[in-house]
Amino acid sequence: MSLRLRQIRQSIDKLDKEIVKLINKRASLALDVAKIKNETKNKGDGIIYYVPSREKEVIKNVISVNNVIGEEAFKNIYTEIISACRNLEAPTKIAFLGPWATFTHQAAIRNFGSTGCFIPVSSPIKVIAEVESNRADFGVVPIENSNEGSVNVTLDMLVRTELKICAEVSLEIEQCFLVKDPEDKILKVYSHPHALAQSRNWILRNYPDVELISVSSTAEATKKVTKEDCAAAVASEVAAKIYNLYILQKGIQESRKNFTRFFVVGKILTKATGQDKTSLVFTIRDEVGALYSVLEIFNKSNVNLMKIESRPTKKRAWEYMFFVDFKGHTEERNIANMVENLRRSCVFVKSLGSYPEA
């Protein structure tokens, strides 16, 4: 080993020790924050340790001075540091659409970091119930896929619940071909119907005689493969790690631009960050030009309407509610005024939450 290389490694070792000292110092300051929150809380109020606006500000600050490591990698590093410090204040309980290794599980880790108490449940309805009953602090549910569209059950639940959207997560979906034994002859392929549809062409090109079997989730598919011979699963790289499977091929989905958007829901109202979105639902009067008049309110308020989608109200036949996403936060004066104008023009208006834009 050259003298120069030895010197560089000694410098790295020294820096690593300094980094650990600084992380521990940061953790001590986080505990001081928790102590102040505990001392100043009102009687009967819970303490909020997860503050999306503050965490986004912290990550934005550190990324602004980073000039070597890739932005996404640096964000992941700091998310884990924040997660570990938050867990020292109090373990955050996060319900998610399970089982383990689903894409919703990945989205939960992407948002909260890997430190915390993750609670897998079997449906979006149960995720909401866990948070409403205080068995979980927050819930993570899928809201839409860039190729398959919205998750209607999640939209319907957001109308009924008093929980608010606190944050959003956008996750790129990469499907992998997983097996227990690379030498096995593959006779069956398990996965969620959407994953099979996204990967069908690759599977049939490479395994034209296999049986495609739909199951409830990609994670359920991986569990089946661990118990069967001559079987494969279409699932995520994370699923391969959790269930100790081999990845024969990554990225077998047809679309290279396949993203799923998730909502983090809870009982807190997220403060404005300057880069926010608001989700809102409304119903209109049954009269000519009603929808045009409502959309004109967005236009006159100079608000960037990013999405509009209708769903049946399920109260009367052919009566619809409209879900919209737009840029801005309800703390901003022009957004607050616009929402008031909507209330005067609509039969029903409900803000589902303002949150930092993913």
Catalytic residue among 79, 92, 154, 260: 260
For this structure, is 259 an active site residue? no
Both tokens of 120, joined, read 């897998």
Catalytic residue among 103, 112, 138, 262: 262
Both tokens of 45, joined, read 């109020």
For this structure, is 79 an active site residue? no
Residues 6+ positions from 342 with CB-CB distance below 8 Å: 280, 282, 294, 297, 349
Catalytic residues: 260, 262
